[in-house]
């Protein structure tokens, strides 16, 4: 193309070349030339959010549910600073996002100009990488590089800061660089010797455990399929982090459910008692390990991850493997099958007998009073939502906010395939679920998209109901309303003597009226006899719905590994007192 194009046109051309179909954004002074360019083309769709944080979460929802890079466009100054929470969220959960931020013209940078912020400075620790384009000739390359960096290796968010004069002035277009990035070379192909060592170690295991995470999902559908193959091939028990749910079908009998702080009894005890552990695409997060010096003390550990800095960070491992989860799994399957030695079937059968005893505890069990007028247990609400949703046979995507409802959703909603579960794991961002649902629904117009929310979290980005209305997105918001910041309340009960400082949600809105004011349908269930009917109507309604489900305000999320405790110190039910059950003074300082 000729050099007569404006910077904004070059930007849009590069985005098209990168396969961008939709941008989540919010206009402002510094990005007006880009919006003018968007106005004059039809290839890229723009979805107007109501807050820049929502734009990034929407892009994350889009990215997680499709495997493509999510794209954000925000203005300078407050537009960029509002996006920071979303960027850190994407960084922590390894979600590929390219965020275009407007900037004041180059001659004003550093002058404290109107709506100026040091965006590259602010977002440096909030992104995988960032760019400030100060010369027109750097523009196209920066955009192409940003997409390479965002989606390859361990994915993450990339910011491109775009001064207004660069967007208005002419700029040359260039195709994506054939050599990629000059210095950035993520390693995807694992060392075959390390893979063979891992396979041999796994074959000799008597009490194996496979522990998988979001890396398997990020690697792609093939990696999840290979994981399923490996689990079936070995017959070994498998558990997953919050981020990895759906990689192995929840219905697979070898799947033990989620592990960690609110994971299942069987998953955590299997981790604790294992003699060989294969961790793949997971990062030994503190929510997973509990007390580090008591974490899986007897196991020889294999850790496969695409990010070398994730290996040996928290937990020293015997066999580190750097590479893409899919490539590692393909290598493990090959090495397993090539090794003529059989694994110890008798020991494995004995291990499964032990695990089945742990399973028999039914750690996720709860009691729902079925009498008319009885208060709804939040677990029951999720179970019914799951059962009634599955019965529809539709493709279902679930997003969540952060807190008790998120953990109950992870425990009681069962995911059979990857990319259908979108939740804020690493950063734990309240307000994630509603905008994420916007992104998922935009990517999957025919899908059933449900935001399982709490009444506190949903208020953090409630303005996105307006986006939902504008684009007629049939998102269903399922609020477990316990009138508390439930997880805060739970910790206050267990660790702070029941002093519920500021966790009661006084002056809540009428969610039915709130839904109606945003042109959506509002529903409310106040007792167990009303629950199924509300879910039925919600699922049958074509447009967006907020279903406000009044649940037991005192219900706590169990099982729970108290902070600072070991996996085998789990609290199984409310019958156990928190402080007596292994919460130590060092544990108190942990979050």
Partner 1 sequence: MGRDASLRSATISVLVENEPGILARVVGLFSGRGYNIDSLTVAAVDEAGRQSRINIVTSGTEMVIEQIKAQLGRLVPVYRVADLGREGPHIAREMALIKVAGTGEKRAEALRLAEAFRARVIDATTESFIFELTGGTEKLDAFLALVRPLGLAEVSRTGIAAIARGTRTI
Nearer to partner 1, 104 or 248 (CB): 104
| 135 scored as a contact of partner 1 (CB under 8 A) | no
Report if residue 536 touches partner 1, rule: CB under 8 A: no
Alpha carbon distances (Å) from 159 to 51, 256, 273, 311: 17, 38, 44, 26
The count of residues in the chain is 591
- What is the per-residue binding string for partner 1 in 61-100, x denoting contact by CB under 8 A? ----------------------------------------
Q: Which is nearer to partner 1, 38 or 97 (CB)?
A: 97
Residue 34's alpha-carbon distances to 131, 166, 167, 467, 519, in angstroms, are 17, 11, 7, 21, 30
Catalytic residue among 13, 18, 24, 52: 52
User: Which residues are CB-neighbours of 556 under 8 A, at least 6 positions away?
Assistant: 404, 490, 493, 494, 574
The pattern of x and - marking residues 302 through 331 that bind partner 1 according to CB under 8 A reads: -----xxx-xxx--x-x-------------
- CB-based contacts of 507, cutoff 8 Å, min separation 6: none
Q: Judge whether 492 counts as a catalytic residue.
A: no
Q: Torsion-angle region of residue 195: left (phi > 0), alpha (psi -120 to 50) or beta?
A: alpha
**DSSP 3-state percent helix, strand, coil across the chain (nearest 5):** 40, 15, 40
Q: Is 404 designated active site?
A: no
Binding mask 181-220 for partner 1 (x = CB under 8 A): xxxx------------------------------------
How far is 136 from 173, CA to CA, in rounded Å?
9
Q: Is 413 a catalytic residue?
A: no
Whether residue 243 lies in the annotated active site: no
Which stretch in 31-39, 126-134, 430-438, 485-493 sits in contact with partner 1 by CB under 8 A? 126-134
Q: Considering the rule CB under 8 A, would residue 16 count as an interface residue with partner 1?
A: no
Cα separation, 237 vs 298, whole angstroms:
17
Interface with partner 1 (CB under 8 A), residue total 23
Looking at residues 139 to 158 of the shown chain, list those that interact with partner 1 (rule: CB under 8 A).
Answer: 149, 154
Catalytic residue among 114, 189, 362, 395: 114
Bridge partner list, 471 = none
Nearer to partner 1, 376 or 566 (CB): 566
334 is a site residue for partner 1 (CB under 8 A): no
Query: What's the min distance (Å) between Cβ of 116 and partner 1?
Result: 17
Distance CA 233, CA 436 (A): 35
Q: How far apart are CA 355 and CA 175, in angstroms?
A: 55
Q: Which of 258, 407, 465, 487 is catalytic?
A: 487
**Phi, psi dihedrals of residue 75, rounded to the nearest 5°:** -85, 180
Report, as residue numbers or ranges, the catalytic residues: 52, 114-115, 164, 487
Binding residues (CB under 8 A) for partner 1: these are 120-121, 124-125, 128-130, 132, 134, 149, 154, 181-184, 307-309, 311-313, 316, 318
């Amino acid at each position: 193309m000729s050099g007569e194009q404006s910077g904004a046109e070059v930007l849009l051309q590069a985005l098209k070349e990168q396969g961008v179909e939709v941008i989540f954004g919010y206009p402002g002074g510094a990005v007006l030339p880009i919006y003018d360019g968007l106005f004059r083309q039809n290839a890229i769709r723009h979805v107007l959010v109501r807050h820049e944080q929502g734009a990034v979460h929407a892009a994350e929802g889009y990215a997680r549910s499709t495997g493509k890079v999510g794209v954000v466009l925000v203005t300078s100054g407050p537009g960029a600073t509002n996006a920071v929470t979303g960027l850190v969220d994407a960084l922590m959960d390894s979600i590929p996002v390219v965020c275009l931020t407007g900037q004041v013209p180059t001659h004003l940078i550093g002058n404290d100009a109107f709506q100026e912020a040091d965006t590259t400075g602010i977002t440096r620790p909030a992104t995988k990488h960032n760019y400030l384009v100060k010369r027109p000739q750097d523009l196209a390359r920066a955009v192409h590089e940003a997409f390479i960096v965002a989606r390859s290796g361990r994915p993450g968010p990339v910011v491109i800061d775009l001064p207004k004069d660069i967007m208005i002035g002419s700029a040359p277009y260039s195709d994506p660089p054939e050599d990629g990035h000059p210095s950035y070379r993520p390693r995807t192909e694992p060392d075959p010797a390390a893979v063979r060592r891992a396979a041999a170690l796994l074959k000799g295991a008597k009490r194996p455990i496979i522990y998988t995470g979001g890396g398997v999902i990020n690697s792609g559908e093939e990696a999840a399929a290979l994981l399923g193959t490996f689990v079936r091939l070995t017959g070994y028990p498998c558990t997953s982090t919050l981020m990895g749910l759906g990689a192995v079908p929840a219905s697979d009998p070898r799947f033990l459910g989620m592990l960690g702080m609110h994971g299942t009894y069987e998953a955590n005890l299997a981790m604790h008692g294992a003699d060989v552990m294969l961790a793949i695409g997971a990062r030994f997060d503190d929510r997973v390990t509990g007390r580090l010096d008591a974490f899986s003390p007897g196991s020889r550990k294999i850790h496969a991850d695409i990010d070398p800095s994730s290996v040996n960070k928290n937990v020293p491992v015997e066999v580190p493997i750097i590479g893409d989860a899919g490539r590692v799994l393909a290598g493990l399957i090959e090495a397993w099958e090539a090794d003529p030695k059989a694994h110890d079937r008798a020991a494995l059968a004995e291990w499964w007998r032990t695990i089945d005893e742990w399973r028999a505890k039914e750690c996720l069990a709860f009691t729902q009073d079925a009498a008319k007028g009885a208060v709804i247990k939040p677990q029951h609400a999720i179970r019914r939502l799951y059962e009634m949703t599955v019965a529809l046979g539709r493709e279902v995507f679930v997003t969540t906010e952060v807190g008790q409802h998120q953990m109950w959703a992870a425990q009681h909603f069962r995911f059979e395939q990857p990319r259908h579960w979108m939740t804020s794991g690493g950063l734990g961002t309240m307000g994630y679920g509603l905008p994420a649902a916007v992104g998922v629904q935009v990517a999957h117009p025919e899908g059933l998209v449900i935001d399982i929310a709490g009444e506190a979290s949903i208020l953090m980005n409630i303005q996105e109901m307006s986006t939902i209305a504008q684009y007629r997105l049939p998102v269903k918001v399922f609020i477990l309303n316990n009138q508390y910041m439930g997880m805060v309340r739970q910790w206050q009960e267990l660790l702070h003597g029941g002093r519920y400082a500021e966790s009661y949600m006084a002056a809540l809105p009428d969610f039915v009226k709130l839904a109606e004011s945003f042109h959506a349908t509002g529903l409310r269930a106040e007792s167990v006899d009303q629950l199924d009917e509300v879910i039925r109507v919600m699922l049958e309604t074509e447009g967006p719905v907020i279903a406000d489900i009044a649940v037991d305000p005192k219900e706590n999320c169990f099982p729970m590994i108290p902070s600072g405790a070991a996996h085998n110190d789990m609290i199984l039910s409310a019958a156990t007192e928190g402080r007596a059950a292994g919460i130590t003074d060092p544990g108190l300082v942990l979050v």
